[in-house]
Amino acid sequence: EVQDGNLIYTDGLTAGAIMKKGTTAQKEQFVPPLLTLEKVGAWAITEPGSGSDLASRRTAARREGDHYSVNGQKIWTTTAHLADWVFALVRTDTEARKQEGISFLLIDLRTPGITIRPIHSIDGEHHLNEVFFDEVRVPVGNLVGQENKGWDCATVLASTERTRIAHVGLCRERLDYARELAGRYTQAGKPLLDDPKLRADIAMLEAETRALEITN
């Protein structure tokens, strides 16, 4: 269930970024199978020592004719061991300022030169990974957006990633359903919703859900 939730979450955001920044061919190739989970995607963004600074990328993609040669390492890559593709933030210009020299590439994880190593979290689950790239050839057609303008794609992901974690719609649906059940079922001949304590609890949850909706 944890893995399925991660897959739906990451694939939905990846498909959204491709819809906003990808070419028509990329949208047709990648978005339908990502949304149906026929193909699984992951994000290869975070690197060792860089924390949440998306612009401090050291994984490099060197243009060589009709392909890029990618070298470097990513860490905390969710579901990479289950994925078919990674959406990778790479550096394509080492001379430009940080935000101007990065690009987004869609990389087939079956490509030679890719190594995936598991990271087991404290609860023993495995959904995180290290991903290593050693002279990995990626077609230029897999560049999403413009070369050296990957920051635009990064902001698309960053602007939606944390808000989707909150699942406001699901919270609203569950709360409405709980209120419906409390009005339908009875205790000692009275609807459960007549209980002042339960009404107060529902009111508090309603306020918290509304606050979450507004802040998102």
Q: Catalytic site residues?
A: 161
**H helical segments located in the chain:** 2-21, 24-35, 150-165, 168-184, 196-215
Question: Which residue type is seen at 149?
Answer: K
Query: Strands 67-74 and 85-91: what pairing?
Result: unpaired
Output the six-digit token pair for 77: 């890559």
40: CB partners within 8 A, 6+ apart: 7, 11, 34, 79, 82, 83, 84, 85
| Residue of 133, 200, 209 lying closest to 172 (CA atoms) | 209
Phi-psi map region of 142: left, alpha, beta (phi>0 left; psi -120 to 50 alpha): alpha
Give the N- to C-terminal CA distance of the chain in Å, as an integer. Answer: 25
Q: Are 47 and 57 in contact (CB under 8 A)?
A: yes
Separation between Cα atoms, residue 89 and residue 149, nearest integer Å: 11
Residue 102, strand partner residues: 91, 149
